[in-house]
Amino acid sequence: MQTDPEKYVVEAEHFAVGYGERTILHDISVKIRRGSVTCICGGSGCGKSTFLRATLGLVPHKGGEARVLGENINQLEGDKRSQFLSRVGFMYQNGGLINSLTILENLKIPLKAHTNLSEKVIEELVYHKLAQVQLTHAVNLLPGELSGGMLKRAGFARAIILEPELVLSDEPSAGLDPVTAADLDDLMIRLKNELGISLIVVTHDLDSIKRIADRIVMLEKGYVKFDGPLNDALKSQEPLVKNFFARAPSEGHAGISSLWNLLKG
């Protein structure tokens, strides 16, 4: 496979992964550009989250080839794998933070694992990243003491603490009200531009997709059904894509907003 890691963060050709006899992603061929936001979309069970895990080499390889940041993820072991993982950040739905540790202690963990920096420098870097996500006031709080939006921002700070080239995010706006979700989208785009990172985001939130996506990869039953710019996706006559974007926007968020208005009386 001919590759161009200066242009693409992910290059997959006839890539397939799965567990045992079960194949989850079949014959995936995509190229994801550097500096872009690519949204991975599709129905439940189509392979979106598996795509993210496969990008990190966490799902058994069944065929084809995938290179991430120029590295063949199926051949990385030991120190090379550790070095590769330091170049990729992951933002979990729940923040991926340890509940018994403060935000400061949580964000120190990747720096201690992947660098030889002094404790003072590590702490300064943590404060700097929390300032970038407007969360320095929460440095000594536990994850359980944060609101949903604050927890997402803390999770994003953790994902970018090592200043990775690529950040993967699984349903970042899940569980947030529309205003908080929009603020998180704006934060992710601002820091993408400031830090020069690339983002791969799994989401089904139409409002969020329209705000952040440069490109759409639509999956169905483990196959790529659409791969192209957002504007092309919005105009597509492919039934899967057309039906996806024809849904009422922010269905999940609308329900949350209605419940909140009801509780307020």
Domains of the chain: 1-76+165-187+198-265 (3.40.50.300), 88-163 (no CATH)
Block residue for tokens 């550009």 = 33
- Cα separation, 155 vs 197, in Å, equals 16
Question: Edge to edge, what strands does the sheet with 61-68 contain?
Answer: 22-33, 8-19, 61-68, 71-72
Residue ranges in the chain whose pLDDT is less than 70:
248-265
Count of alpha carbons within 13 Å of 62, Cβ hemisphere only? Answer: 16
Q: What pLDDT, on the 0 to 100 scale, is given for residue 260? A: 38
Q: What pLDDT, on the 0 to 100 scale, is given for residue 255? A: 43
262 contacts: CB under 8 Å, gap ≥ 6: none
With residue 18 as reference, give the H or E element that holds it.
strand 8-19
Looking at 31-147, list the stretches that DSSP marks H as alpha helix, in order from N- to C-terminal side: 48-55, 78-85, 103-114, 119-132
- Put residue 3 in one of left, alpha, beta given phi > 0 → left and psi -120 to 50 → alpha: beta
pTM score of the predicted model: 0.89
27 and 56 Cβ atoms separated by less than 8 Å: no
Using DSSP bridges, classify how beta strands 8-19 and 71-72 pair: parallel, antiparallel or unpaired.
Answer: unpaired
Nearest CA-CA partner of 5 in 36, 33, 39, 30: 33
For residue 215, CA distances in Å to 37, 86, 181 come to 7, 25, 20
- Cα separation, 14 vs 20, in Å, equals 19
Neighbour tally for 83: CB within 10 Å: 12
Block residue for tokens 């300032």 = 131
Neighbour tally for 217: CB within 10 Å: 24
Helix (H, G, I), strand (E, B), or coil: what is residue 217?
strand
With residue 28 as reference, give the H or E element that holds it.
strand 22-33
Q: What pLDDT, on the 0 to 100 scale, is given for residue 93? A: 79
Helix (H, G, I), strand (E, B), or coil: what is residue 234?
helix
Q: Say what angle helices 178-195 and 148-159 make with each other, to 10 degrees.
A: 20
Q: What pLDDT, on the 0 to 100 scale, is given for residue 45? A: 87
